[in-house]
Amino acid sequence: MIQVIRNSQRYHAENEWLSSYWHFSFDNYYDPANMSFGPLRVFNEDVVAPANGFPLHPHREMEIVTYLIDGQLEHRDTAGNRGVISAGEVQRMSAGTGIRHSEFNPSDKTPAHLVQLWIEPAVAHLPPSWEQKRYPLAERTGKLLPVAVPAGGNGTRPSHAVEIHQNATIYTSLLAPGQSVAHTLGPNRRGYVFVIAGELTVNGQKLQAGDQARVSAEKALQFAGPASGSKSPAADFLFLDLP
């Protein structure tokens, strides 16, 4: 089953420095029928105005992954970690037993456009930790490139991917016109798709920018970009393989 939720159905929150689209109940948006999808608890698409951001705030027992689409975002936390991420980089913070952090757009001219995901960890009471990796942007064309993988992979983790403490993998992909890629979901697995830009077809279902698809009870997924010869932009999307 593939449940498609259109861009127009997402909850939109906005203030003087932030425009945010929330896929699940978050902050002042509460829908008991839309709390999570498996361990995926939060999926927010944010645009942060220049020289603005989220002040120091706490988190506990959550794997927080930040994926930059455009611009930059600076992270600081109470464990002494600090990093600036831009397009082509991914960041993971394990809140574990508790940590406070801030996120700020360091540019005074360019908005920061990002996706942030919160995934419930498989193990509780972990010590807080943080890491940031650069992945090869060119290598995501025509394939599913993993940028976050389960921790403890016996040395099989790609050097460009961060580790999350859950049996979940986050992929990025860019499919030009005529390109396609397949993925097999294992038993008791589910998938989550978000289209950042362009037009994507998933098992015959057409998705546009801002659309999401929640996949369950499907064994095989076929992702296709725009039709061959089309002048439409490539399909830029994220895919999560989840328990």
- For the chain, the domains span 2-242
Q: Quick one: pLDDT band at residue 228, thresholds 50, 70, 90?
A: confident
How confident is the model at residue 154, as a pLDDT? 67
Q: What's the pLDDT tens digit per position in 143-189?
A: 999 999 999 876 677 889 999 999 999 999 999 999 999 999 999 99
Q: How far apart are CA 192 and CA 46, in angstroms?
A: 18
How confident is the model at residue 153, as a pLDDT? 72
Q: Homologous superfamily of 2-242 in CATH?
A: Jelly Rolls (2.60.120.10)
Closest CA to 107 of 76, 134, 128, 85: 85
Phi/psi of residue 9, nearest 5 degrees: -90, -10
